[in-house]
Amino acid sequence: MTKQLVAALSCAMLIAACGGSGDKKAPENKDSASTTTTAPANPATVNPTADKALDLIGASDCTTCHRLHKAQGGSTIGPAYDEVAAKYTNAADTTVDRLVKKVISGGSGIWGTVPMTPHPALKPDDVKTMVTYVLSLKQ
């Protein structure tokens, strides 16, 4: 059930990122798309923090360069989220804070020569929610 939910949310995020106009209605459309492609979620298994993180990721431009899983195929500019989680398996609060700063300020060298675009308009608390979610994907 969890894999189906993640797959449905990933597809919805990709669709929202590619065709979204940047308005606040994009996350609502993503939710309605995910409910039509999967069985209704069991309220006991819904993770509001993960849902918020996925909404934030879908509302940003993250999915332009990143995928949820490396196995999804196709070329991407940046690493898949599960690759990031694997690299930082022993992530401490200092790692989360460092990654939040990296997302906001951008940079290069860790994953190759292509720089990550800075995201100065993102709120640090929102980025922390997204980074914490990404790091939770470690297998």
Tens-place pLDDT, residues 70-90: 876 666 788 999 899 998 877
Instruction: Write out pLDDT tens, residues 42-63.
Output: 444 467 888 999 999 999 999 8
pLDDT band at 125 (very low <50, low <70, confident <90, very high): very high
- Residue tagged 């993960």 (tokens): 50
- Give the residue with greater pLDDT, 28 vs 120: 120
Which domains does the chain possess? 2-135 (1.10.760.10)
Q: Which residues lie closer than 8 Å to 62 by C-beta, 6 or more apart?
A: 17, 130
> With DSSP H G I counted as helix, E B as strand and the rest as coil, what are the percentages for the chain, rounded to 5?
60, 0, 40
pTM as predicted: 0.63
Instruction: Give whichever of 27-31, 36-40, 86-90, 124-128 has the largest mean pLDDT.
Output: 124-128
* pLDDT over 90 at 127, yes or no: yes
Q: What integer pLDDT is reported at residue 35 of this predicted model?
A: 34
User: Rounded to an integer, what distance in angstroms lies between the CA atom of residue 73 and that of residue 76?
Assistant: 9
